[in-house]
A = this chain, B = another copy of it.
Amino acid sequence: VSALPTNRTYAEQLDAGDPLARFRNRFVRGDEPLIYLDGNSLGRLPAATQARIAELIAGEWGRGLVRSWERWVGLPSEVGDLIGEHLIGAAPGQVLVCDSTTVNLFKLISGALDAQPGRRVLITDDDNFPTDRYVLQGIAAQRDCELRTIHTDQDEGLDEETLAAALGPDVAVVSLSQVAYRSGALADMARITGLVKQSGALVLWDLCHSAGAVPVRLDDCGADMAIGCTYKYLNAGPGAPAFLYVRADLQESLRQPIWGWFGQRDQFEMGQAYDPVPGIERFATGTPQIIGTVAVAEGTKLLAEAGIDRLRDKGIALTSYLIHLGDEWLEPFGFRLASPRADARRGSHVTLFHQDAWRISRALIAAGVIGDYRTPDRLRLGPVPISTRFCDVWDALDRLRQIAADKSYEALPTEISRVT
């Protein structure tokens, strides 16, 4: 029997002692009494971001017009450096904000394949995020290479022995997520990176569910490449640009396939032959989206102010509290934890298995709690550290046990009708 209390007073005590509690008020909230446990899908709107975008639009676009490119043109690498310093452990000159996660993945994997002509195998795992798997399938279909997809347990995450067995002298790139989108399982980046590099392959980490949620140490781990999105934990808004990381001493030998004018040396000379700039900006393609890029800057600064280590501590506290209440309340109703139980092996979200997860997720929304359904039988709850209270977790789980107990969800349609 767990020692933690299950009464709401305890949650209130945890909130009272939370050093990050004040950050909740840095986000815009409506009048609706909403419990939002899906900031790991689309993060909340920081008030500073709302103000900064309004200022950018009125001042820099509206009045500054084309002259503002003087300041905009450096933003992708400046904001990349911010992410590098505060969130993903990358020294300056290795991170660029650009394009989408999907496009960045395509660029880096293609480049890494071209850089190693003797190695024709790509590795990923079958529980990697869909776009990661599809991009690799597309490259394998078009290029002379093979995609080797290893099996990953949907609850527990990557198995290092399975990965080790798949490595070999024919492998060019291993592409993995640091935190699994479904289970929240946190991979050991340092050990896996070492394993892959020992085999002579390059490793690419997808940080979509880890950047801003757990401390990432790309440089320390010797990681080769990484990509990630900014609309989850970085709170940069729907479709804000993604980022990519390429280790400094790999940049020269990696040539990405989309040769655009923003990667060109002396861009406005508009010369005949493409000649990529030295450094991380050679991974740029077309004109960067500026509104989204300043939103990334604001979101990153807010996380930096909170501090990634404190965010990680709170993330563990929130998710372990959620697991505790789930154990106490939900198991009799057919729920089962579908995330790693050990704190050190989990990111900032928790997934519960239930065979009726779809209808329960709908009933939960009707009860004012937004979580996330993941096909076919998973309820994903993301109490993102910067804006979630322990009381939110208590209230959400309390409503969930009521829904489970009264079986009101059984009146809902079983057909899945969803877009996210």
Contacts and interface: CB of A to CB of B under 8 A. Distances in A.
A7 interface: no
Interface of A: 28-30, 32, 34, 36, 38, 41-42, 44-45, 50, 53-54, 57-58, 61-63, 65-70, 72-73, 99-103, 106, 110, 114, 126, 129-131, 133-135, 137-139, 141-142, 229, 231, 237-242, 257-262, 264, 267-274, 285-293, 370, 372, 374-375, 418-420
Given A261-B134, A269-B375, A285-B100, A370 B65 contact: yes
Given A131-B261, A419-B69, A53 B63 contact: no
Contact of A106 (B50, B54, B258, B273): B258
Contact of A42 (B65, B240, B375): B65
A38 B67 CA distance: 10
A284 to B, nearest CB: 9
Complex copy number for this chain: 2
Contacts of A44: 62, 65
Contacts of A241: 289
Contact of A142 (B114, B269, B273, B420): B114
Contact of A100 (B29, B229, B264, B286): B286
A288 B289 CA distance: 11
A231 B259 CA distance: 20
Given A65-B36, A142-B114, A257-B138, A287 B57 contact: no
